[in-house]
Amino acid sequence: MSDEKIIPSIKPREKLKLLGIQSLSMTELLALIIQVGTSRKNVMQISGRLAKILKYEPDKISLKRLLSIEGIGFIKAAKILAVLELVKRLKADSEESIVRAGDIYKLSFNIAKKRQEHFMLITLNGASCVIKKRIIFVGTINQSLVHPREIFHHAIKDRAASIVLVHNHPSGDTNPSKDDIESTLKIKKVGELIGIEVLEHLIVSPNGYFSFYKSGLI
């Protein structure tokens, strides 16, 4: 059943009570917000028109656009815009985004206390929001060798725009080793060739972290 096809024998509020909110179509959900129609158009007709705009022209939703719909005045338009803005903000809050090294440290703190080295790959979309974070290597205390092929296999699979690398030093000393620096530069060069930017490499421990980016090593 499409969003525009409504069961005529049951009103949205009654349907909500009987079947739950998830059973309502977009038109019915909008009818609960709008509540009443006009002398020329009932609430379902107004909601149906609005549902089509939200579905096919979501980028055109504005106060002016809503007020142009017959049966929607300022109060109804304000309610609709408030709901849409609330959904937008909740969605944004639910997405993990990378802005600075501290954000990465928070996402990777679970490996900071590990007694073996763990190498984590974090893939990001174009807005620097996390697509996925995964452990791709677990080694001994003195070894953290990961081939670029394995890293970019996952990055390409995730359709990532960029990636962040993280690994822990069980010793607590977050200073990079010669191998850490050389392998990071190698991964960065491969990323440049295939168009996936390596934004950062963090070495973490319970006491803090070392940022390759801040240190000019990446």
pLDDT in tens, 65-124: 999 989 999 999 999 999 888 887 776 555 566 667 888 888 888 898 888 899 999 999
Whole-number average pLDDT of the chain: 85
Can you tell me the distance from the alpha carbon of 131 to that of 107, in angstroms, rounded to the nearest whole number?
A: 12
Query: Residue 143: which pLDDT band, with cuts at 50, 70 and 90?
Result: very low
Can you tell me the distance from the alpha carbon of 10 to that of 81, in angstroms, rounded to the nearest whole number?
A: 27
What average pLDDT does range 57-62 have in this prediction? Answer: 81
Do residues 102 and 76 touch, judged by C-beta distance below 8 A?
A: no
Report the predicted TM-score, pTM, of the whole model to 2 decimal places.
0.57
Do residues 55 and 66 touch, judged by C-beta distance below 8 A?
A: no
**Hey, what domains does the chain have and what are their CATH numbers?**
12-93 (no CATH), 101-211 (3.40.140.10)
pLDDT per position as a tens digit, 184-199: 999 999 999 999 999 9
